[in-house]
Chain A
Amino acid sequence: MSYVEFLSQYGDRILSGTLVTMVLTVLAAALAVAIALAAGLMRLAPNVLVRGTATVYIEIFRGTSLLVQLYWIFFVLPLFGITLEKFTAGFVAVGMNLGAYGAEVVRGAILSVPKGQWEAALAINMSPATRMRRVILPQALLIMLPAWGNLLIELLKGTALVALIAVADLMFQVKQINGTTFLSAETFGTALIIYYILARFMITPFMRWLERFMLRKVGRV
């Protein structure tokens, strides 16, 4: 079978898998960003309990494998009465995992906002919450954007694991096609190229654009 024939026969399934991968990526990214912001801020809280909770969360999710977390959420969590449908389990696992990595990025970025900015905000008598929201976070956001570019690519790659709990993403589709056709180079090769395109020609340019957009917004072009 020529590659063109291969594509015309299986193109639809590959395309639908790609769409599922993209939706998973977007949902997982939204969850990861929310968790990262919350856990990152909690890591800087004065309260030991709040700080401790965030630390435990981060250490558990960074200390074990995404695959272990995915299986645990999908196979074990139901025993505790929390049953997630496989698609949900998939993006929740990926989002929670990358959220833990993102939390450290958020924390690092907040801490690297120059000390003078904290003092200047204090000097005009801002409350800690206002200071964080109006002065520190906007600047920290700029600092952390490049790191998020890398994290989002890791996140995209992470979504491929949900195929192992039978979510019909790109990885799952090509695995299925390979199982019936044994055209491994065509199936897996095509998927590699699609993931590469998603990472380098969608995520990376999007993050670049976001960086420029943010720079303009804070008036530092």
Chain B
Amino acid sequence: MFDWRWDFTWQILPRLVIATGNTLMAAGFGYAIAVVLGLVFALAQRTPSRTLTFVVREAVEFIRSTPLVLQIFFVFYVGPQFGLRLSPWTAGMIAIGLHYAAYLSEVYRGGLDSVPKGQWEAATSLNLSTTRTYFRVIIPQALPPSLAGMGNYLVGIFKDTPMLSVIGVAELMHTATAIGSETYRYLEPYTLVGLIFLAISLPTAAGIRVFERWVRRKLGLS
């Protein structure tokens, strides 16, 4: 029953390791987009413009309520219909970045809302400018409560990268499937992919918890 072949394992491992690089790159790029765009979404909902707040709010809800894999297809295939061709990587990064930006904007919103009103008032009483208040007073305090959520979504985006395989991004899952269809062996490639994911996401999650405590201490919050 346990028909595990080690020679085959060693043979395919290099290809999987290279693909892991692509997976990490996809997660990294996607996360960078999400971190910045998420902040834009969160701050847009704090502007006095009700229309802007409403539109961004609804867009975030929509993105959060629909499947990422469908969004990936949508971004990749709808462009060409209107004469705009996107490479799998570009389409994938837009879709995954946008998807997680919606999630991160909620994390930021929670963090910003958790800063007590008195902090804004103290900043006003010291005549600090709005920019200075945001960057020196509010964001440093909004950050620690956001870190856990930000960390979760970093691991989350990493685990969602296999969906990029559906439009042909050569990440781990795509490579494992290719190996499977070439050799008709699925046990080793798919199991290895699972192990690689575990080996990266578990330590990352633990590392994030340590980092979170470190930041709190660094800011003198605990």
Contacts and interface: CB of A to CB of B under 8 A. Distances in A.
Q: Do chains A and B touch in the complex (CB under 8 A)?
A: yes
B69 A160 contact: yes
A63 interface: yes
B54 interface: no
A59 B187 contact: no
B201 A67 contact: no
A156 B67 CA distance: 8
A197 to B, nearest CB: 9
Given A60-B198, A71-B173, A75-B186, A196 B193 contact: no
Contacts of A67: 162-163, 165, 173
A1 to B, nearest CB: 12
Interface string B28-65: 00000000000000000000000000000000011011
Nearest to A79: B187
A161 B69 contact: yes
A164 B166 CA distance: 8
Interface stretch (A37-45, A84-92, A177-185, A212-220): A177-185
B78 interface: yes
**Interface hub of B68, B173, B176, B190 (most chain A Cβ within 10 A):** B190
Contacts of B194: 60, 64, 68-69, 72
A169 to B, nearest CB: 10
A68 B193 contact: yes
A79 B3 contact: yes
A157 interface: yes
A174 B70 CA distance: 10
Interface residues of B, number: 41
B160 A157 contact: no
A69 B3 CA distance: 19
B70 A71 contact: no
Main secondary structure, interface of B, reads helix
A36 B177 CA distance: 30
A171 B159 CA distance: 20
Contacts of A80: 1
B81 A182 contact: yes
A19 to B, nearest CB: 17
B65 A76 contact: no
Contacts of B191: 72, 76
B66 A196 contact: yes
A76 B202 contact: no
Interface string A173-208: 011001000111100110110011001100000000
A185 B67 contact: no
A64 B172 CA distance: 12
Interface string A86-121: 000000000000000000000000000000000000
Given A71-B173, A72-B191, A178-B77, A192 B198 contact: no
Interface in A53-79: 59-60, 63-69, 71-72, 75-76, 79
- 7 smallest CB-CB distances across A and B, nearest first, come from A184-B77, A160-B67, A199-B65, A188-B74, A157-B67, A64-B197, A75-B186
